[in-house]
């Protein structure tokens, strides 16, 4: 009998034992992450709700085995310390459910792909269906553990498709956080909807050009509908606010990728501060890849300013550029044909910075507390894997036949470079 899904390097595992995805790390590919705890005074009233420390986590993975026309895997997360028993149990249960759902359609997909191959009759080409679920960690402190599950499915055709699920857990209780836990859910929905629509309206024309805005699909109508009748898009809690995720084809074409908007906690009239980070905590965020504004406090005065990075192309010059906008200041730089820029905003004790990653070509750093000041440039053939408040990781990026990414030859860098 063919196994439906099995641990890496384990001969046989039943579906009912998939809880081991988050428990047994001896025979799995495991990547452990250490985090810096948020410290609180003894009398802090948040202590009732918050854990005294941030959890320690590790990644594990399971994969489908024994199929001729299907391949895939699930990346899981586990709590590795003994200080968060409720969270540990909740995370185990959550990923056990993810694996169970992964298993449901495998047999049918394998058979369907087999039939498609027989119909094509091309002995030189074998098409496989695939399903790969990966984790994008968003926040990890003594209050909140949040991440996005990216479920990328290929069922033939020109390309696959992804769906995104936002997940946030209360580190102290292990409960999954809902809008009701944050305050008046209807008020939060209304504030979020209006903020997102205003963010789009005040973003650049280059960014707005990515959205559906015609008689067939109008992004404003879609956003209104998604926030109606007690519903909302997928969301998670990050360092700055509540981030809402729009799925592929919701408000933009496939090529625009995942579009999300973060509504700062300060925008809400009332919100449970048991889930808001301590004031002036260092953080790093990825800026919108489609060029929409993000709102940050650049000088600690409580006033939010817009910041964005836009990829653009000059048709006459036949050249790619990026435009960095910080408040009323702007900078336009040539990137080379075919380049695509990713921007990151970093707030730490040294100031406020924007890291510009032209993957496989260069990395640039700007100080943006008062205007835009170039701080460093690095030529590199490597890709940016991760950016934190204290530095960034470069590495070689490759993909296997199932479009699963892997990293090698990683390098750690701080924010001081020429």
**Using one digit for the tens of pLDDT, what is the confidence trace for 294-353?**
999 988 788 899 999 999 988 888 889 999 999 999 999 998 777 889 999 999 999 999
Can you give the pLDDT at residue 10? Answer: 32
Whether the pLDDT of residue 30 is over 60: the answer is no
17 token code pair: 């034992």
Instruction: Enumerate residues 6+ apart whose C-beta is below 8 A from 401.
Output: 71, 128
Confidence of residue 404 (pLDDT cuts 50, 70, 90): confident
* pLDDT tens by residue, 68-119: 999 999 999 999 999 999 999 999 999 999 999 999 989 999 999 999 999 8
Can you give the pLDDT at residue 416? Answer: 86
Can you give the pLDDT at residue 49? Answer: 58
Kindly report the pTM of this predicted structure: 0.86
Can you give the pLDDT at residue 215? Answer: 84
Q: Which residues pair with 63 in a beta bridge?
A: 6, 73
Nearest alpha carbon to residue 19 among 66, 89, 72: 89
Residue 274 CA to its chain's centroid (Å): 23
Residue predicted with more confidence, 398 or 35: 398
The C-alpha atoms of residue 308 and residue 207 are separated, in whole angstroms, by 10
Confidence of residue 138 (pLDDT cuts 50, 70, 90): very high
The C-alpha atoms of residue 166 and residue 121 are separated, in whole angstroms, by 41
Helices (H), 203-339: 205-208, 219-226
Name residue, tokens 């808001």. Answer: 276
Long-range contacts of 93-97 (CB under 8 A, 24+ apart): 93/19, 94/167, 94/176, 95/18, 95/21, 95/22, 96/18, 96/19, 96/21, 96/22
Whether the pLDDT of residue 12 is over 90: the answer is no
Confidence of residue 126 (pLDDT cuts 50, 70, 90): confident
Average per-residue pLDDT for the chain:
87
Environment class of 317 (CB within 10 Å of its CB; exposed 0-12, middle 13-18, buried 19+): exposed
The C-alpha atoms of residue 78 and residue 37 are separated, in whole angstroms, by 18
Q: What is the dihedral of CA 173, 147, 238, 201, to 10 degrees?
A: -140
Whether the pLDDT of residue 11 is over 90: the answer is no
* pLDDT tens by residue, 179-207: 999 999 999 999 999 999 999 999 999 99
């Amino acid at each position: 009998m063919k196994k439906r899904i099995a641990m890496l390097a384990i001969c046989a595992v039943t579906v009912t034992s998939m809880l081991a995805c988050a428990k047994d790390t001896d025979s799995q590919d495991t990547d452990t992450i250490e985090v810096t705890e948020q410290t609180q005074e003894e009398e802090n009233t948040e202590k009732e709700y918050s854990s005294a420390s941030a959890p320690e986590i590790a990644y594990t993975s399971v994969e489908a085995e024994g199929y001729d026309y299907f391949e895939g895997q699930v990346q899981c997360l586990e709590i590795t310390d003994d200080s968060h028993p409720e969270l540990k149990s909740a995370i185990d249960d959550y990923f056990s459910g993810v694996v169970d759902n992964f298993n449901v359609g495998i047999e049918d997909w394998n058979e369907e792909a087999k039939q498609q191959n027989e119909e094509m009759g091309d002995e030189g080409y074998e098409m496989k269906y695939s399903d790969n679920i990966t984790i994008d960690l968003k926040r990890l402190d003594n209050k909140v553990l949040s991440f996005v599950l990216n479920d990328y499915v290929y069922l033939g055709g020109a390309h696959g498709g992804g769906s995104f699920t936002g997940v946030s857990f209360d580190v102290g209780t292990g409960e999954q956080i809902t809008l009701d836990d944050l305050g008046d859910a209807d008020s939060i929905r209304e504030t979020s909807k209006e903020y997102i629509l205003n963010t789009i309206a005040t973003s650049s024309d280059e960014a707005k050009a990515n959205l559906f805005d015609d008689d067939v699909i109008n992004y404003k109508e879609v956003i209104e509908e998604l926030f109606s009748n007690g519903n909302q898009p997928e969301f998670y809690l990050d360092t700055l606010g509540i981030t809402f995720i729009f799925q592929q084809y919701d408000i933009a074409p496939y090529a625009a990728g995942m579009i999300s908007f973060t509504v700062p906690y300060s925008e809400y009239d009332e919100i449970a501060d048991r889930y808001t980070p301590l004031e002036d905590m260092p953080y790093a965020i990825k800026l919108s890849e489609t060029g929409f504004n993000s709102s940050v406090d650049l000088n600690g005065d409580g006033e939010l300013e817009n910041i964005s990075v836009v990829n653009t192309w000059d048709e006459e010059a036949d050249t790619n550029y990026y435009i960095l906008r910080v408040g009323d200041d702007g900078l336009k730089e040539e990137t080379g044909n075919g380049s695509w820029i990713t921007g990151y905003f970093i707030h730490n004790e040294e100031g406020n910075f924007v890291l510009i990653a032209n993957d496989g070509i260069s990395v640039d750093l700007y100080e943006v507390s008062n205007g835009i000041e170039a701080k460093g440039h690095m030529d590199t053939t490597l890709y940016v894997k991760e950016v934190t408040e204290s530095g960034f990781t470069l590495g070689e990026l490759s993909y296997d036949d199932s479009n699963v990414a892997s990293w090698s030859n990683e390098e750690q860098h701080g924010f001081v470079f020429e």
